Amino acid sequence: MSTPRVREFHEDDLDQVVRVWEESRSPDRPAVYGLSEVLGALRDGGTAVVLTVGEVVVGAVVARVFGDRGWIVLLAVADDWRGRGLGSAMLTELETRLIARGVHRLSALLVEGQTGTRAFRDSGYETRDLTYFERVVPLQPQEVGLLDALGGRMLPRGLWQRLAGMEHEKELIERRVVLPLDDPDLAEEYGVIPPRAIVLFGPPGTGKTTFAKAVASRLAWPFVEVFPSRLAGSGDGLALALRETFTEIDELEHAVVFIDEVEEIAGVRGGKPPSPLQGVTNELLKIIPGFRERPGRLLVCATNFIRALDPAFLRHGRFDYVIPIGAPDAAARAAIWRRYIPAGVLERIDLDTLVAASDLFTPADIEFAARKGSQRALETAVYGDDDRPRGTGGPTTADYTAALTETRPTLTTAIVDEFTEDIETIARL
């Protein structure tokens, strides 16, 4: 058998280096650096040596160079050649070449137990007590341009946590929707099929759009809002534009697709002659089953008028859940007020009074009233005749109650009664 030897990496070695990298992988201990980063180092002027037996590559070490520091992104040895000190031999040869390039500090990041750990220790590398942070961005480079063309975007992390109040709705959506999508392996273990499409319904201003965005943020998936009214064409042309939009969305690995006021294109069909939008409704009904076949995506449709939707649109097999998003209860209203009242004056505010006075107010109504109250306090302090010193007073309960009396709530008891009836007859949880 030939004696192992270490030599410089040649481009012809690439396929064999990939093979060695694959052999060195441990499914339960994923490496810090992926194959793309190793190949990037080889392409971009990195330094690499290989271990060969005859013409066969059985080991490789690859490093990137940044000024006087070298980062080792791969140390791999084929299974049959481990435990013979060959990793240390490759490191020694690599160091010689890096020193010649002006490198005097070498670093490596390994998961404990990963191939090469012993070689680094035997070669005099010291461990450092560091905290390593990593986040995988769920958007492939080739998807960036497509997402931009679709008008989609990655939403900031934390929108779910910042969603004030509505704890009942949050818990329901977290359990039914987010949990199986976020951990599909666990869902499969329990025989749960992750949802592919849901409907959010409720009065205007109750936060349906906010919930859709928060779900995308929670999953760290791209958010794409489809505006049927903005698609090119009309009638059959609009149906074609809708189909082409979903064909483009299908190229994304993950996506939360949102259609607001879906009743505009999924209303009850009928009439003579047929409505020009009937073809769009038919097309959307055809699109949904195909959309559901792909994992890693969620269609969220929102409507203020659930009764206006075509019955075929809501049937089982198209939407997994039909979820009501109603007016905030007292606990939710309190949480929303806390979000918009300045922290420095919150302890002086009679929150119970504001909560009671904002019954039938939606989250959007409360936000408007809170901002109006704060603006009222600012103007009073600067231009008014009260005793509040400029810069030291801040809003009072009276400022907010005055703003409430000047704000017309979105909801009425009739709207709430109709919504309650819809929950009983249409909701699917």
Q: How many CB atoms lie within 10 A of CB 429?
A: 9
Q: Is there a shared CATH topology between the 5-122 domain and the 330-410 domain?
A: no
pLDDT at res. 321: 96
pLDDT at res. 277: 67
Instruction: Look at residue 387 and tell me whether its pLDDT is greater than 80.
Output: no
Maximal CA-CA distance, the chain: 98
Give DSSP secondary structure letters for 95-111.
HHHHHHTT--EEEE---
pLDDT at res. 27: 64
Instruction: Look at residue 107 and tell me whether its pLDDT is greater than 80.
Output: yes
pLDDT per residue as tens digits for the range 223-252: 999 987 666 455 567 788 888 899 999 999
pLDDT at res. 23: 80
Domain ranges of the chain: 5-122, 143-326, 330-410
Q: Which residue has the tokens 């903005």?
A: 230
5-122: CATH, from 3.40.630.30, 3.20.20.70, 3.40.190.150, 3.30.1490.100: 3.40.630.30
Look at 144 and 139; give whichever has higher pLDDT: 144
pLDDT at res. 418: 93
pLDDT at res. 141: 72
pLDDT per residue as tens digits for the range 158-201: 889 888 778 889 999 999 999 999 999 999 999 999 999 999 99
Fold of 330-410: Helicase, Ruva Protein; domain 3 (1.10.8)
Fold of 143-326: Rossmann fold (3.40.50)
Q: What percent of the chain has pLDDT over 90?
A: 48
What's at 298, amino acid-wise?
Answer: L
pLDDT at res. 234: 52
Q: What percent of the chain is helix, strand and coil (3-state, nearest 5)?
A: 45, 15, 40
DSSP summary character for residue 3:
P
Phi, psi of 424 (to 5 degrees): -70, -35
pLDDT at res. 161: 86
